[in-house]
Amino acid sequence: MIELTLPYPPSVNHYWRCNRGHFHISMEGRIFRDRVWAQFQAAKGRGSLTGPLQIAIDAYPPDKRRRDLDNLLKALCDALQHAGCYEDDNQLWSILIRRFQPIPHGKVVVRISEFVGLVHLEVGA
């Protein structure tokens, strides 16, 4: 299991930028990604988790502004993949996001572990 306490991620609108029809990660997004990588390394990052995974995210926004909770997911998952926590976002079979009361500067607590609960369903059964 990997558990990280990270800064509150930028929204999708602040993470990506479009320049002449080409999308790229903004400066704010690159800074966030670098901070996630540093946190993973400091937590003795032991390489990518493999196989189906589940992720639980406790989100503490930086203020009381209205936010769509799902907006933090893409930037966060992209940064976790870039840091080497897992190989690809498609490994995430279960995602739980909980919002808590705002705290100064905000944070997210992320727990990634092996997905336990695979059920084989027969198509047409």
The pLDDT of 102-106, averaged and rounded, is 97
Which pLDDT score, from 0 to 100, does residue 53 have?
Answer: 95
Angle at 49 between CA 8 and CA 45, to 5 degrees: 60
Distances (CA, A) of 118 to 3, 49, 52, 81: 22, 17, 9, 22
pLDDT class of 118 with cuts at 50, 70, 90: low
The pLDDT of 85-98, averaged and rounded, is 94
The pLDDT of 97-115, averaged and rounded, is 96
Distance CA 57, CA 72 (A): 10
CATH number belonging to the domain at 2-114, selected among 3.30.1330.70, 3.30.70.260, 3.30.70.360, 1.25.40.20:
3.30.1330.70
Residue 55 in contact with residue 96, Cβ under 8 Å?
A: yes
Residue 17 in contact with residue 23, Cβ under 8 Å?
A: yes
